[in-house]
Amino acid sequence: MSDAVSLEITPSKKAAGTIVMKFGGTSVGDLDRIRAVARRVQAERDTGARIVVVVSAMAGVTNRLVADCEALDPLADPREYDAVVASGEQVTSGLVAIALRRLGVPARSYQGWQIPLRTDEAHGKAQIEAVEGGALLASLDVGEVPVVAGFQGVGPDGRIATLGRGGSDTSAVAVAAAIRADRCDIYTDVDGVYTTDPRIVSRARKLDRITYEEMLELASVGAKVLQTRSVGLAMREKIRVRVLSSFAEPGDVQNGSLVVDEDEILEKQVIAGIAYSRDEAKISIRQIPDRPGIAAAIFRPLMAANVNIDMIVQSTGVDGMTNLTFTVGRSDQATALSVLEGARETIQYGELQTSRDVVKISVVGVGMRSHAGIANTMFSTLAERGINIQVISTSEIKISVLIDAEYTELAMRALHTAYGLDAQ
Amino acid sequence: MSDAVSLEITPSKKAAGTIVMKFGGTSVGDLDRIRAVARRVQAERDTGARIVVVVSAMAGVTNRLVADCEALDPLADPREYDAVVASGEQVTSGLVAIALRRLGVPARSYQGWQIPLRTDEAHGKAQIEAVEGGALLASLDVGEVPVVAGFQGVGPDGRIATLGRGGSDTSAVAVAAAIRADRCDIYTDVDGVYTTDPRIVSRARKLDRITYEEMLELASVGAKVLQTRSVGLAMREKIRVRVLSSFAEPGDVQNGSLVVDEDEILEKQVIAGIAYSRDEAKISIRQIPDRPGIAAAIFRPLMAANVNIDMIVQSTGVDGMTNLTFTVGRSDQATALSVLEGARETIQYGELQTSRDVVKISVVGVGMRSHAGIANTMFSTLAERGINIQVISTSEIKISVLIDAEYTELAMRALHTAYGLDAQ
């Protein structure tokens, strides 16, 4: 979570109106979509802006390449996996440059190693360590549109390194930081950030603006519109990020949401949005002898096995025994259970229970800092519908509850109304 | 045609048994074929040899990538075309490395820019200027199998450059030269070099050995088994090349033909093989005033338009007029005709005729230098079948004739027998 962008060269003086335009997989899904992207870039450039384009692989390509690697070896060497998988963005960068040149726009592709965009050695899920802005700025200075292959860089070993799923968003923000761009536009298949998932809550409303912190919390608790790391990087580097649809008409003023600093938002809302995550597994340990050091005895081996523990609740049972319930991501569930089975002798618990029939629902908003009663609205709204809260966790601008999965839609619609988020 | 391989580093002392194994598109056509390639490499390495692998794109991939570029722009920028098309070999190199590692063979992929394999600036059909052997030799020294993406290098502009169709053969020979390999094995879908195309002449015979010069002439007049440039480079760098099938069982001693120096061949044959080319267009200019400088007036504008002229014959017509017939590749036919139409005033010829119903048949053999009567056998054999020779051209070890295309099979079978090439 700590992509650093150290400017290894001093960027040339900042030009007015430099914009990074990032296009996701569906936005470049076929040759017609690529032509549409080229026209959109041309239109933006015709306003006088300097443009850098960042592209993902064409939709479906990355999945096919990953499947080929895994078919040969489920534990494929991550450096070779990276060489294979990064080819998807390489192809798109070349094709978009060709489409732009066809329109008379001077463009050229840049692979990660050509910029260079330097990463650490964690192949397959590398962190960005530095983006050199020199080559891109030189391209801009001669009127070119650089088309950067997202998701990829070059590691300290001189080999191609990929940033992990969703990494192209992070590439775009890192490039924007390196050239001190005025804005980073993330083109995707939705027209902005919504108060919640419109497929579940039909009265969801598009937000014109949202703060970095809220976006970061929403992304981390399940909202899929932006990749968490890219938001964190944008917040640290103060890059204004706009999320918008590549399927809307160019120039559509209704298109898009802006992710900005809190002081750029005049009419603040208490709650920005509601997110949910089904990627949850609940584990309960029952009848644990209630003695000092017992929590450490439970969590130390789990952490050693790289299991990420999210929400925790402890409850008192009968006979001086205690119960402990916590959640992990579904991919960690099997590991966690096997670790706890192995520690049965040490912990001396009675019973181990687990379930995936749970959902985590989170309410996020910077207004929580100044407004009391936010949590109470949540608890009473859910209680009125007879929905039992199994675990609760909070942060400064977020409240999350774990509930039975069958109440997901009911709970989200009720909370959306209770917090006054419904569209008029 | 002048790929140079200057060794920019001094190679470490030559190890016994270093072999370059190159696999073409059908040999790596799917994941099962890639697994078979890995097993073959492992078997060769188990004999104690040091192995460098060079791979093409998986069969069909390059065609699809080229089609995408051309769909966006028939005149796509060759530098962007290269970035797109080179991704095919990048993917194969990673997948083959994964398959090798799966078998426990330490392997790693190398892209052209990582070696580096340096080319000139002619993107799309670049010539190799230098292959630095250092990184590959270092890999070999620690027991690794480098898996090189063929067909690609890096140009003086720091961008990916491809070598043109069939360039992976040339990559393999250039890599073999740079590391002073003992042999370069070209794995393909046929089990060697034949006296002629077995699909046309069923009695065609596989050659155990053939000289560089013969292979070069055969490749240049239509034999498709090896790319012309790769043979020229092998001849200059004295790299022993073996052509063999990746579909035969490993260890099959019948598999393969060796391309070597003339003095390595003990039982020399007068004729090595017979090749044919359908990529011919005949152009005849009739009723040209027979005055000095007329040939230059015709050929100068054609050469200026980059039209490659192959066979030429001049014949006298009536009234002091002359006729000129020559051949060009089919892709040059339209250009040549348009140039000649444009020069009609200058040349003052009577009529322009053209045809594609022709085939060029060539007989190649170093024995021609010492044996008389080779040409005569060709002329009398064709005459006995009533086949008219339209144009003749010869070189030191080759005779080519242009005949009506409908006689292709008849002529080739008759010549194969006449020169004593038929299998027993």
Above 70 in pLDDT, residue A130?
Answer: yes
Q: B77 and A68 in contact by Cβ < 8 A?
A: no
Residue percentage of chain A with pLDDT more than 90: 80
pLDDT range class, residue A8, cuts 50, 70, 90:
very low
User: Which one of A32, A33, A79, A91 makes the best mutation probe of the B interface by having the most chain B beta carbons within 10 Å?
Assistant: A91
pLDDT of residue B5 exceeding 80, the answer is no
Tell me, what's the pLDDT at B1? 37
- pLDDT band of residue B14 (cuts 50, 70, 90) is very low
pLDDT tens column, B260-297: 998 888 777 889 999 999 999 999 999 998 888 888 88
Q: Examine the pLDDT at B113 and tell me if it is beyond 90.
A: yes
pLDDT of A320 reads 79
pLDDT over threshold 50, residue B9: no
The residue of chain A with its CA nearest to that of B30 is A68
CA-to-CA distance for A140 and B228, rounded, in angstroms?
42
Could you give all domains of chain B from N- to C-terminal order, each with its CATH number? 18-189 (3.40.1160.10), 281-355 (3.30.70.260)
**Where residue A2 falls among pLDDT bands split at 50, 70, 90?**
very low
* Cβ contacts of B84 on chain A, cutoff 8 Å: 90-91, 94-95, 98
**pLDDT: is B129 or B270 the higher one?**
B129
What is the DSSP track for B170-204?
Answer: HHHHHHHHHTT-SEEEEEESSSS-BSS-TTT-TT-
CA separation for the pair A341, A351 (Å, rounded): 10
- Look up residue A260 and give its two tokens: 């900005």
Residues B260 and B347: beta-carbon distance below 8 Å? no
Q: Which of A98, A94, A29, A23 minimizes the C-alpha distance to A61? A: A29
Radius of gyration for the alpha carbons in chain B, expressed in angstroms and rounded: 23
Instruction: Give the residue-averaged pLDDT of A249-254.
Output: 83
Band of residue A3 on the pLDDT scale cut at 50, 70, 90: low
Q: How far is A129 from chain B (nearest CA, A)?
A: 21
A83 contact residues in B (CB cutoff 8 A): 90-91, 93-94, 97, 109, 111
Chain A 99-128, residues with CB within 8 Å of chain B CB atoms: 99, 101-102, 108-109, 111, 113-114
Q: Are A79 and B113 a contacting pair at CB < 8 A?
A: no
Q: Give mean pLDDT, residues B222-226.
A: 86
Neighbour count for residue B157 (Cβ, 10 Å): 11
pTM of the shown model = 0.87
Contacts of A109 (CB under 8 A, 6+ apart): A90, A93, A94, A96, A97, A146, A147, A148, A149, B80, B83
Distance CA B136, CA B132 (A): 8
Contact A94 B81 (CB under 8 A): yes
Q: Is the pLDDT of residue A16 over 90?
A: no
CA dihedral of A241, A242, A243, A248, whole degrees rounded to 10? -160
**What is the pLDDT, as a whole number, of residue B254?**
85
The confidence score (pLDDT) of residue B173 equals 97
Query: Mean pLDDT throughout B389-394?
Result: 94
CB nearest A72 (choices: B31, B73, B114)? B31
CB-CB: which of A72, A79, A93 is closest to B99? A72
In angstroms, how far is CA B420 from the centroid of its own chain? 26
Angstroms from B80 CA to nearest CA on chain A:
5
Measured distance CA(B302)–CA(B36) in Å, rounded:
49
Query: Length of chain A, please?
Result: 424
Q: Does A132 touch chain B (CB under 8 A)?
A: no
CB contact under 8 A, A84 and B77: no
- Condensed to tens digits (0 to 9), the pLDDT of residues A93-111 reads 999 999 999 999 999 999 9
For residue range B51-103, what is the model confidence (pLDDT) as tens digits?
999 999 999 999 999 999 999 999 999 999 999 999 999 999 999 999 999 99
Å from A88 to nearest chain B CA?
8
Please indicate whether, in this complex, the C-beta atoms of A77 and B97 are within 8 angstroms of each other. Answer: yes
Task: Determine the longest span between alpha carbons in chain A, in angstroms.
Answer: 80
Question: pLDDT tens for residues B315-363?
Answer: 887 777 899 999 999 999 999 999 999 999 989 999 999 999 999 999 9
- Give the number of beta-carbon pairs within 8 Å between A and B: 112
Average pLDDT, chain A: 92
H-run or E-run covering B246: none
Q: How close A23 gets to chain B, by Cα (Å)?
A: 18
Asked whether the predicted pLDDT for residue B2 surpasses 60, the reply is no
pLDDT at residue number B65: 97
Q: pLDDT grade, residue A4 (50/70/90)?
A: low
Mean pLDDT score, A151-177: 95
pLDDT at B16: 47
> How many CB atoms lie under 10 A from the CB of residue A26?
19
pLDDT score recorded for residue A295: 86
Inter-chain residue contact A84 with B68, CB threshold 8 Å:
no
Residues of A in contact with B124 (CB under 8 A): none
Which residue out of B33, B41, B72 would a mutagenesis test of the A interface target, given it has the greatest number of A Cβ atoms within 10 Å?
B72
Statement: residue A264 has pLDDT above 90: no
pLDDT confidence bin for B3, thresholds 50/70/90: low
Strand ranges of the sheet holding A128-131, from the earlier edge strand across to the other edge = A128-131, A117-119, A152-154, A160-162
Closest Cβ opposite residue A98 in set B77, B86, B93: B77
For the beta carbon of residue A8, count every other beta carbon within 10 angstroms. Answer: 14
Task: Supply the Cα-derived Rg of chain A in whole angstroms.
Answer: 24
Residue of A64, A65, A89, A98 to mutate for B, most B C-beta atoms under 10 A: A98
CA distance A373 to B155: 65
How far is A162 from A77, CA to CA, in rounded Å?
Answer: 13
- Cβ–Cβ below 8 Å for B72 and A114: no
Per-residue pLDDT, B295 = 86
Interface contact B83-A34, CB threshold 8 A: no
Work out the average pLDDT over B156-165. 94
B102 contacts on A by Cβ (under 8 Å): 72-73, 76
Cα–Cα dist B62/B86, whole Å? 8
Residue bearing the bigger pLDDT, A254 or B121: B121
Q: Tens digits of per-residue pLDDT, A309-325?
A: 999 998 887 777 899 99
Sheet containing B321-328, strands listed edge to edge, beginning at the edge strand earlier in sequence: B309-316, B321-328, B281-289, B351-355
Average pLDDT (A153-177) is 95
Inter-chain CB proximity A35 and B95 less than 8 Å: no
CB contact under 8 A, B73 and A114: no
- For residues B238-251, one letter each, b for 16 or more C-beta atoms within 10 angstroms of the residue's C-beta and e for the rest, the string is ebbbbbbbbbbeee
Contact across the interface for A68 and B95, Cβ inside 8 Å: yes
- State how far the alpha carbon of A351 is from the alpha carbons of A86, A313, A354, in Å: 46, 16, 10
Q: Which residues of B touch A134 (CB under 8 A)?
A: none
Taking only residues 14 to 73 of chain A, the set having a beta carbon closer than 8 angstroms to any beta carbon of chain B reads 31, 34-35, 65, 68-69, 71-73
Give the pLDDT confidence score for residue B6 in this predicted structure: 54
- In angstroms, the CA B44 to CA B59 distance is 24
Contact check, Cβ <8 Å, B35/A72: yes
